Amino acid sequence: MGYAVLWWCCKQDAFFAPTTKTPYTDEFLVGYSTNLTEDTNISVTYTNHATRDILEDYDLGVYTEGGQLWGSDLALPLSYFGYTENPGSNYVLATLEAVNVITKVLK
């Protein structure tokens, strides 16, 4: 005779952190293209992406006080997520701070 373990009955797998924001991206694109000859052209394109509030999952046992990365540049205090204590889930869904990526392409 067997039995079933109801994993979902005892511990919530993830919470949305109270500080979670809606992710978004601003983009600016400008380019120029011209024909050098009938069969040859040249193009220059500049793209600037500004991505903000990227949604990410965090294991608080790794990234926060007492975790494996505590004391490193990757560690974040519980207050970053809006908590004063660990909520007891496996993961927390939260947003990263602003990330700015500039890409220049010459074709």
The predicted structure's pLDDT at residue 106: 41
Mean pLDDT over residues 90-100, rounded?
Answer: 76
Strands across the sheet containing 14-16: 14-16, 91-95, 55-58
- What would the pLDDT profile of 48-78 be if each residue is shown by its tens digit? 988 888 888 899 889 888 888 888 888 889 9
Q: Which of 91, 89, 66 is nearest to 77 (CA)?
A: 66
3-class secondary-structure state, position 100 = strand
pLDDT of residue 104: 40
Residue range 8-48, pLDDT digits in tens: 556 678 899 999 898 888 999 999 999 999 999 999 999 99
pLDDT of residue 61: 87
What does pTM read for this prediction? 0.60
